[in-house]
Homo-oligomer: A and B are copies of this chain.
Amino acid sequence: MTTCLSPELLSLYNLEESVVVAIDVLRATSTIASALYHGANAVIPVSTVEECIEKGQKPETITAGERNGITASGLQYGNSPLLYQDGLAKNKTLILTTTNGTALIHKSLQAKQILTGSFPNISTLCEYLKGQSTPIILACAGWKGQVNLEDTLFAGAVATRLDQHFDTQNDTTLLAQALYNQYQHDLPSLIRQSSHYKRLGRLGIYNDIQYCMSFDTAPVLPFLYEGQLVNKKF
């Protein structure tokens, strides 16, 4: 089990032989978990706003996404995971584009398997990963190529839960685990220091952050199948 701290470094990893766990804690992969848990049939991650609008023409779809944290022009919704709690996407397909998370998924397409991870689905994810014999890459979305705290923290949380099952003795995974170990009893204090928190805070999205830091509130396993993220049963 290894950790890729930025999508800009993905080319250094052997994607073809690996399961990639795409991690964009604030907020894309939390939103994906929330939408699937609250009844969406699928989430289609797309790179551009234009593609999002185009794919959103089909019946039973809704479009959502952000650029720089703000609802992208032409889309129905932004990137809040809270939107879906009342069944907004129930039995529908969510077409989603975000600054970093969906781009990361597209950069990972050569992988043997792509899953998405977030605190709301951490236990389900870890339970599934335990049964895997394929190498696992915890792939952090970061922010526009930069390494960020919250995605690294989540990678550290997963590695710490699974280090009895996998070899986590590599530099980036140990680094992520050191971060998690130091802050595991006070995750909010770390998140409050992160640059993403400051960005989202300016947008007043504290409830979103609270949801994204909650454990197991959306116990699903988002799994990319033919371009769509669906809840994998196992």
Contacts and interface: CB of A to CB of B under 8 A. Distances in A.
Interface of A: 5-6, 8-9, 12, 143-149, 152, 169-172, 174-175, 178-179, 181-183, 190, 193-196
Q: Most chain-B Cβ atoms within 10 A of its Cβ — which of A146, A171, A183, A195? A: A171
B171 A194 contact: yes
B147 A171 contact: yes
Contacts of A179: 175, 178-179
Given A172-B147, A179-B179, A182-B182, A9 B8 contact: yes
Is chain A's interface secondary structure helix, strand, loop, or mixed overall? helix
Given A149-B175, A171-B196, 5 more contacts: A8-B8, A8-B12, A146-B172, A147-B175, A182-B182
Contacts of A149: 171, 174-175
A12 B171 contact: no
Copies held by the complex: 2
A179 B175 CA distance: 7
Contacts of A178: 178-179, 182-183
B169 A193 contact: yes
Contact of A175 (B9, B152, B171): B152
Contacts of A171: 143, 146-149, 152, 194-196
